[in-house]
Amino acid sequence: MTATGTDRAGAVDGGDPVRPGGPPTRAGGEGGWTGSLRARLTAALPPERALPDAQPAYVASWVYLFGVASLASLAVVIASGVAIALGGVRWWHTTVVGHFLNSVHLWSVELFFFWMVLHLWGKFFMAAWRGRRAATWVTGAVSFLVSVACAFTGYLSQTNLDAEWIATQAKDGINSTGAGAFWNVLDLGQMLVWHVMLLPLAVGLLVVAHVVLVRLRGVVPPIGTADDGRPSDDPAAWR
Amino acid sequence: MVLPFPVPPVVGLLLNGDGYYLHWGFFRMSLANLVVVVLMIVVFVAALLAPFPHGRRRSTPPGERS
């Protein structure tokens, strides 16, 4: 769309007066709620900080890779889960492709928890909640707990004797908490919907919030260094 | 299921048939879970001790490059 003339707020045809050649915008500021929101988002999380191409020197350790390994595993979990969902609730027992995707889903979940627990150990011993990073720590911990619930409903959704056995063993524990009144582990339909939609959605939103908070606050510096508790975008942390 | 490649017997012990459990008094744990826990500890310690390959270094943060 091409702007012509001058609109009521003073935008002039021919581009941004601040950025010659750029798209037409309102003179003197960001226009409308979209412009205001864009300005606030880019001020809170500039592009070079949202997608950095370098990290502080102290990040040069294998321990810092456990988080991204968890994310990579989660991507495979979601992709294989979506592929499995296409065929219904039993086909992975009877077809070669179903066996393969079932195994990919299982082992990617195993790896997801493997890396996530190592990530948790590393961040615990780093006291990674320092420097206004409490929300980062909490979203990570809660996403771990919700992932456990999601994996549990996955066991219940296998549509085999293993799922029936786990459900009958779990029902008494769940009922003792009172949650059994509305969360029935013997109800395959309910557990399947929780497994394929509600809990993955919760995990996904929590993980996105967790990663955004990591970008906002930066990777936690080592304990006892000059950068202790300082946001990692401080130039002193880059030496 | 027959796999198209040779499998060490220990893999069959861990993955096929009934689980093998270890007992220490009141504490009981499957061999498979113990192997995973030991593997996690080994990987964690290795990540702390193994040297990390260093790439390019720079002294200014992103956004301040000319």
For chain A, 239 residues long, give each residue's pLDDT as a single digit of tens. 444 444 444 444 444 455 555 555 555 556 899 999 999 999 888 888 888 888 888 888 999 999 999 999 999 999 999 999 999 999 999 999 999 999 999 999 999 999 999 999 999 999 999 988 999 999 999 999 999 999 999 999 999 999 999 999 999 999 999 999 999 999 999 999 999 999 999 999 999 999 999 999 888 888 877 655 555 545 444 43
Query: Six-digit token pair at B34?
Result: 């113990």
The complex's ipTM works out to: 0.76
- Residues A200 and A150 sit within 8 Å (Cβ to Cβ): yes
Spell out where A39-182 has E strands: none
Chain B positions contacting chain A at CB under 8 Å are 36, 40, 43-44, 46-48, 50, 52, 54, 57-64
- Assign B2 a pLDDT band (cuts: 50, 70, 90): low
B66 versus A59: which is more confidently predicted? A59
Tokens of A185: 């582990």
User: Interface of chain A against chain B, CB under 8 Å?
Assistant: 46, 48-49, 52-54, 57, 60-63, 65-66, 114, 117-118, 121-122, 233, 235, 238-239
What CA–CA distance (Å, rounded) separates A131 from A129? 7
Give the pTM: 0.79
pLDDT for A14 equals 46
Share of chain B above pLDDT 90, in %: 39
Polymer length in residues for chain B: 66
Helix A66-85 with A199-217: angle, nearest 10 deg: 150
Q: Crossing angle of helices A134-156/A199-217, nearest 10°? A: 160
A197-233 in b/e burial notation, b at 16+ Cβ within 10 A? eebbebbeebbebbbebbbbbbbbbeeeeebeebbbb
pLDDT tens, residue by residue, B5-36: 777 777 766 666 777 899 999 999 988 889 99
Tokens for B44, please give them: 């964690």
Cβ pair A61:B61 closer than 8 A: no
